[in-house]
Amino acid sequence: MNGKVTLLGAGPGDLDLLTLKAVKALAAAEILLLDDLANPDIVTLAPQARVIRVGKRGGCKSTPQDFIQRLMRRYALAGKIVVRVKGGEVLLFGRAGEEIAYLQAAGVAVEIVNGISSGLAAAASLGISLTHREHCRGVIFVTAHAQDHSEPDWGALAATGTTLVIYMGMSRIGSLSDGLMRTLPSWTPAAVVQWASTDRERRLVTTLGALAGDAEAAGLGSPAIILVGEAVGEALPTALPLAA
């Protein structure tokens, strides 16, 4: 009898943010494929699972995507309950589309268990609404690092009148800031939140023009979320200092 694969969003790191559905799926797991960005303590919620670490980090040595997919297929076809744990939200920049298609083509049942995205956790840390109706028309979640290593059209994104929540952008923070300032004024509110929701969290609230320099001076790096837009100016006073 075939098993199944659950693609599970582990959220930004705080295990208290896991859904009840995620906790139940972890408890039932026989094989746990663990992403580097997930809180490693999540394994305590899967006491009967064999844990296989399949880290994927930009700029670091990573487990090949094809290898991860073949592992999921092999164990599921052997009748195992496989849980693929991804940091943040499964359906946002987590290669879930590739994995779903691959597993379905192999006849493997796939379940999705959503998690809180690090972009939402970053906004919560700053105390802002990403869709504050006095400041924006909506929100755009965008990655600064496409598969072909190209960058988005920052000027076009800036012209949308939305809050921009930028993933995987720290290595390109200078070029993305310059690109956005082709449309937005340099005083546009901007922020960086590193390791959102965890005890390692660090926050920076600044302006678009000072963003790259301030982030470098503060020593901020990946994993972090960059937020740009007028709504970011509503950050709570407690969010303004950079956390130690």
Sequence-distant (≥ 6) Cβ neighbours of residue 20 within 8 angstroms: none
Query: What is the CB neighbour count within 10 angstroms for residue 66?
Result: 10
User: Where would I find the H helices in 114-163?
Assistant: 118-126, 154-158
The number of angstroms, rounded, from the C-alpha of 71 to the middle of its chain's C-alpha atoms is 23
Rounded to whole angstroms, the Cα distance separating 112 from 216 reads 37
**Catalytic site positions:** 35, 56, 168
Sequence-distant (≥ 6) Cβ neighbours of residue 42 within 8 angstroms: 10, 15, 18, 26, 34, 85
Rounded to whole angstroms, the Cα distance separating 84 from 3 reads 13
Rounded to whole angstroms, the Cα distance separating 71 from 226 reads 33
